[in-house]
Chains A and B, each alone.
Chain A
Amino acid sequence: MTTARQEVLQRIRAALLTAVLPMPAEPALMAAPVGDTEDLVDVFRREAEAVGAVVHGPVSPSEAAACITRVLRAAGARRLLTWNPAEMGVAGLAEDLEREGFETLDPRLPVDPANRAKALLQLGEAEVGLTGASAGLADTGTLVLRSGPGRPRLACLLPPVHVALLPARLILPSLADFLSGAAQAAMDHANLVLISGPSRTGDIELTLMRGMHGPREVHIILLADSEP
């Protein structure tokens, strides 16, 4: 008996013998955007704000922890769904969060269904999700997050407020710059998510509203490499 797989592939091969797939001539190379000498951080800030994110900093390493706790407090955080502080590139962050009295939830979901469901319900209680970012895209004000050990996917999705820490040196010009080198990153991580502003919908009479499923607020704290 032929399997569905064999049959579908056979059908495709047979179809390709007669397929008419019109194709235009290769167009001339696209002109690169000219005169774009604007600082990537400035572009990133402008575009991220245009899609509704709040951008803080860049803050120097010595100011970072204070800025983070200030943003967390302002967002009404008590319980945090957070990446492992070691994944966020801010020295002493774990101690600061503890000293400030934030409760950090264990983001690891058990594999067995019953305990997984229980853990999920608890994670749903967090007021704020705190994550790092592996890149920023200036042209669209986008954050790039990679899943992995210590980097739960749900931290940027479940809580109503998402606070992301982005080292300013990781800002790339555009989506194309990210995708041209993304093959290995895609294979190495079960999930890459690109986030441009807070969750939104236009499904009721095309009225634009924030906070449909993901967070209604996204704060991006830009981290500078060194003291000014």
Chain B
Amino acid sequence: MTKPKGFVIRRKAEPAGGEEGKRVPSQSSEPGSPPVPAPEPAPPPANYFDAAFLDNLAHQLIAPLQCIENHCQNILDNRVPPDRVNVRLREVVGHARVTISLAQRMRFLHQLVTNPDEHYQVEQVPFHKIVSQWIDGFNNYQPALKAKGINVDIHHDEMNGLSDVLATPLAVQQVIMNLYDNAAKYARDKCRIDVSARERGSFVEVTFRHPGVPIAEEYRERIFDRGFRSPAVEKIRAPGTGVGLWVCRRLMRAMKGDIVCVPQGLHGETEFRLSWQIAK
């Protein structure tokens, strides 16, 4: 079962070919005649993002709910030793909390999409709590990252000592999830993601960096446009819709911070810098 991840609105992708199943082949009308290219996939319908939103929500809620059902069914069937029932019930509570948190984030994102100019209520957040979210985000994406041999260095010792910032915890969580989601798709296999932070003027700035699909200079701003996908990403047929970074920027700016992509030369590293205002 797939664990819940950061919400990213998706569009349909072309089905991948397989050993048993085959991609739709190019068709040739006559022997020797040039192949007729497969038809272009139809554009997503106008309400696709709404539909994908609901489908994604359903998917993300099912996994923890099924865990809850399985634990409860085990307890009801007397499959859990009496001395372990409390432990399992605590796990059930944990799954329920995850489910509630997911539902809250979905509602939050709904607000984001329907009221794009709204500014969110920010609160003073100790920076170590944001560091914890980076660690939680990594744990959440660990299976996907592990599958690509990707590891993460979070410089938590230095980060934990930084000033409190103005933020909205749900928005922070969403931004972090989306960045890990991107890294799981676009980071180079067997690389390391580096997460560090420093204070810069009246902001705390987090750097999220990894080697991966290079982002050309002319696209460093456009990648934050809704629906934009760089040619390099399209070329490798990476999944995605070009919405995740748009969501990140919307959320960061709604918290009166920002996210930018900065050039990294030699190794084609992708580097995002996220800034949160320091709480006075």
Answer whether A and B are interacting partners: no
Point out residues on A near B: beta carbons under 8 Å.
none
Point out residues on B near A: beta carbons under 8 Å.
none
